[in-house]
Structure 1
Amino acid sequence: MAKKKVSDTRVVLTSTVVSVFDVSLNAFVAIVTGSTVMLSQALQGLSDMMTGIVLFVGVKKSKRRPDTQFQFGYGREVFFWALIAGIIMFGGTGLASVYFGYQQFIRPEPVDNIWLAFIVLFFSFCTNAYSFSLSFRRLRQSGGTAGWLRRLRHSSLIETKATFFLDSIGTTATGIGIIALLLFALTGDSRLDGAGGIAIGMTMMCAAMLLILDIRGLIVGRGAGQTTSRRIIDVAESVTNVRSVLDLRTMYLGSDKLLVILEVHLKDGLDTDTIEELIDTIKRTVTIAVPSVYSIQVEVETPDDELSDL
């Protein structure tokens, strides 16, 4: 039995709900304990929540139907909202965590009720790990036969990649927090609490930069990777009466929405009706074989070497 496909809406909503719990619990515990690690956890959860809301808006807006002004639809709008999410991650919470951690490191304040912090960190680790697993599964389901790192690098599922980064940060941050507070419990040195806050902030900033750089390529107009491009060419050339694909151009119009322009060389002696039916067959065959193809245009061309012989 095939596993149920994880939707983009489910991934984003789950990450947002987890973030709401993180902010509430960690902010309360940060006040009770005075721990900078817990404050950083609350800021990280706040970043996740704000980012989740922004991404949810982006996903919904990107699914609007094409109109006369946006004839290819609004799919690329999700890239804009994901960019805003990356900026929030970097400046709004990453820098803040580093600042508060630095203040605790140079001017240590006492940390109380450490056991309460451990309980909440363990709970946060479990919820973030579950949310992370959904993002991981959605990326795996869309990756075809490509390796895991290649899927992560080349996938256009930017809203899922954003939540993947956020949830991996959340899981990593709770791990860092547990280690930092465990060392504090063993040594009694409050500066370790500050060092944990700095480490969490730096982790958020690094992940945000990776996300922003990835979004930049999609906004500029990144196309499909070599594996997908090779698959499109092979499928098109497998159609009867197609000699070869002369050129292929692709560009992502949104999350997992690929624009494809094919130049094909056909066998000689075909009449107009046959060529028209053949073009429709190529479009249908490629779309079925590569589900991410959202819009496809097929152009019939003659190779340059044959033109020179005329």
Structure 2
Amino acid sequence: MSAGGGTKAIIAALGANLAIAVAKFVAFLFTGSSSMLAESVHSVADSGNQALLIVGGKRAERRSTRKHPFGYGRERYFYAFVVAVVLFTIGALFSLYEGWHKIADPHPVESPVWAFGVLVFAIVAEGFSFRTAIRESRALKGDHSWVSFIRRAKAPELPVVLLEDFGALLGLIFALFGVSMSVVTGDGIWDGIGTMMIGALLAVIAVILATETKSLLIGESAAPEIEEQICAALESAPEVSRVIHLRTLHLGPEELLVAAKIAVQHDDTAGEVARGIDEAERRVREAVPIARVIYLEPDLYRADASAESRTGA
């Protein structure tokens, strides 16, 4: 997996979640708190998710084959989508069920000191993981907002880890709220309410992740500014008078397919056109290194074809 995939953030999140899962489960055994059980399952699911992201990154590095001539780069999108499914089915549904069960049959939290101690430890550990994910993401985020970064990112790992860590911190706050209210009031229903809040939070995050990764799985074009760079590079070649239209598709986070119809002079020889295409491809790869698969079709520009967008919008 490339550095852009946020390997450091994934490893940090995996280590934190494994340690936190063990601590939360021990606290559940001592307290009987449904919030602690829900958070234990949440951390186990997150650990599995980080493992899935690592597996996806490794499988995406395989060489192209006759059956898959464009390689396996989009496996990273598939495994990110599986993460969303796991987060919903294991994390959200289990938490919602456990919360409903606790509300229907409430009982007080035992040995709350264990719960408070583990929750504070978990908040510190998740905060470290979240800070690592933010630091890894800043270079890719640029001037965009965090919401825009999550929506525009072509590498799915960092948005997944960011949302998971953010959800984990909120979930810990919800668990702390549920346990605290149960201890203060002596009513175990609050513990169930905190658990239901965790389940609802995980469901929302899972839906967001599934929506974004589904779009990547279907196939997304390059960002508008990248397409403008490609057009500029093509039109800078001497033999290319203009780009008639352009199509781009991400074969993976760091691999872009470029297909364009370019206008050439009507009196150019076949050799001149071939040299012009080679030069245009070289300039595109120089301007946009991730443009690794390029198909250019020479044509004569016609004014009546101007209705066809350069970028296919």
TM-score class, shorter: 0.7 to 0.9
* Percent of residue pairs bearing the same amino acid type: 26
Aligned pair 1:100/2:98, yes or no? yes
- In 2, are the aligned partners of 1:83 and 1:212 still within 8 Å (CA)? yes
Mark the CA change 1:7 to 1:80 in structure 2 (over 3 Å): closer, same or farther.
Answer: closer
- Counterpart position of 2:133: 135
- Counterpart position of 1:45: 43
- Counterpart position of 2:219: 221
C-alpha distance in 2, partners of 1:291/1:180? 51
- In 2, are the aligned partners of 1:33 and 1:114 still within 8 Å (CA)? yes
- In 2, are the aligned partners of 1:27 and 1:38 still within 8 Å (CA)? yes
C-alpha distance in 2, partners of 1:280/1:185? 73
C-alpha distance in 1, partners of 2:187/2:248? 56
Mark the CA change 1:185 to 1:217 in structure 2 (over 3 Å): closer, same or farther.
Answer: same
Cα deviations by residue, 1:174-196 (Å, 9 ceiling, x for unpaired): 12222333333333322111111
- Counterpart position of 1:243: 241
Cα deviations by residue, 1:212-248 (Å, 9 ceiling, x for unpaired): 1122212222222333323322343344443322111
- In 2, are the aligned partners of 1:155 and 1:256 still within 8 Å (CA)? no
- Counterpart position of 1:67: 65
Matches within 5 A, 1:23-172: 23-172=21-170
C-alpha distance in 2, partners of 1:192/1:8? 38
C-alpha distance in 2, partners of 1:281/1:131? 45
Paired residues in the alignment total: 304
Cα deviations by residue, 1:16-74 (Å, 9 ceiling, x for unpaired): 22221121111110111111111111011011011112221111101111122221111
C-alpha distance in 1, partners of 2:281/2:138? 26
- SS of residue in 2 equivalent to 1:142: helix
Mark the CA change 1:179 to 1:67 in structure 2 (over 3 Å): closer, same or farther.
Answer: same
- Counterpart position of 1:231: 229
Cα deviations by residue, 1:92-136 (Å, 9 ceiling, x for unpaired): 121001111111122111212222222221221222222223333
Long gaps (5+) in structure 2: 306-313
- Counterpart position of 1:296: 294
Long gaps (5+) in structure 1: none
- In 2, are the aligned partners of 1:246 and 1:264 still within 8 Å (CA)? yes
- SS of residue in 1 equivalent to 2:261: strand
Aligned pair 1:179/2:177, yes or no? yes
User: In structure 2, what residue type is equivalent to 1:255?
Assistant: P
C-alpha distance in 2, partners of 1:208/1:218? 15
- SS of residue in 1 equivalent to 2:247: strand
Give TM-score scaled by structure 2 length.
0.87
Alpha-carbon offset, residue 266 of structure 1:
3.5
User: In structure 2, what residue type is equivalent to 1:157?
Assistant: A
Mark the CA change 1:145 to 1:189 in structure 2 (over 3 Å): closer, same or farther.
Answer: same
- SS of residue in 1 equivalent to 2:249: strand
219-228 or 63-72: bigger deviation: 219-228
Q: Give the one of 280, 297, 304 matched to 1:282.
A: 280
User: In structure 2, what residue type is equivalent to 1:8?
Assistant: G
Give TM-score scaled by structure 1 length.
0.88
C-alpha distance in 2, partners of 1:29/1:306? 72
C-alpha distance in 2, partners of 1:57/1:167? 19
- SS of residue in 2 equivalent to 1:67: coil
Aligned-CA RMSD value: 2.4
